[in-house]
Amino acid sequence: MTVDWNDSYLTGHKEIDDDHRTILLFINGIEYDVKSGANVNTLRQSISSLIVEIEEHFKREEQVMKELGAPLSSIKKIQEEHQILLEKGSLILEELYSARLEKNQKDKCLEIMKNLEQWFVLRITEEDMIIKELINKTRSTT
Ligand SMILES: [Fe+2]
């Protein structure tokens, strides 16, 4: 199962939406690696790239929220959440890497990928929509 881009994921902020598309491509790429039996070094590299991508994305989101005038308390809350999410995302990816090292763990890897996809979609649809709200608020007051 791969997750396709869906316009309901759009926040209306171009850079953030581009990031989300890119992250989705990375996740689908990793799923392809797992399915096609790519070697562990390839997988390790894809995982590292995804983590870097997510880290940069979270920083960008915090910056965008500041620019859109989000209250400091919300920004602080998001920063804390991002830290926890990054740890959780990294754990899922570590688990994936370890499972891939074992033989015949394809099913387990695909199960882990499903968790990662759900984690990502939930993140966008439930949490990142604050950016959409902030944009709408800015528009209606200017
Ligand atoms: Fe995001």
The overall average pLDDT reported for the chain is 88
Does residue 57 surpass a pLDDT of 90? yes
Report yes or no on 105 lying in a domain.
yes
| CATH code for the domain in which residue 116 is found | 1.20.120.50
Task: Give me the percent of the chain exceeding a pLDDT of 90.
Answer: 41
Instruction: Please report the pLDDT score of residue 104 as a whole number.
Output: 67
Does residue 64 surpass a pLDDT of 90? yes
- If one counts the domains in the chain, the total is 1
Instruction: Please report the pLDDT score of residue 142 as a whole number.
Output: 63
The residue segments making up the domain with residue 99 are 13-141
Report yes or no on 5 lying in a domain.
no
Q: Ligand 1: distance of its center to the CA of 41 in Å?
A: 27
Q: Ligand 1: distance of its center to the CA of 98 in Å?
A: 26
Report yes or no on 61 lying in a domain.
yes
Cα 43 to Cα 40: distance, rounded to the nearest angstrom: 5
Q: Ligand 1: distance of its center to the CA of 128 in Å?
A: 5
Kindly give the interhelix angle for 72-101 and 14-35, rounded to the nearest 10 degrees.
10
Q: pTM (2 decimals)?
A: 0.87
- Mean pLDDT across the stretch 100-109? 77
Task: Encode pLDDT of 67-98 as tens digits.
Answer: 999 999 989 998 998 898 888 888 888 888 88
Report yes or no on 97 lying in a domain.
yes
Report yes or no on 109 lying in a domain.
yes
Instruction: Please report the pLDDT score of residue 23 as a whole number.
Output: 93
Q: Ligand 1: distance of its center to the CA of 35 in Å?
A: 26
Report yes or no on 7 lying in a domain.
no
Report yes or no on 4 lying in a domain.
no
Q: Ligand 1: distance of its center to the CA of 122 in Å?
A: 10
Which ranges of 2-142 would DSSP assign to H, the alpha helix?
A: 14-35, 40-67, 72-101, 106-122, 129-141
What b-and-e string marks burial along 69-92, b requiring 16 or more CB atoms within 10 Å of the CB? ebeeeeeeebeeebeebeeebeeb
Report yes or no on 62 lying in a domain.
yes
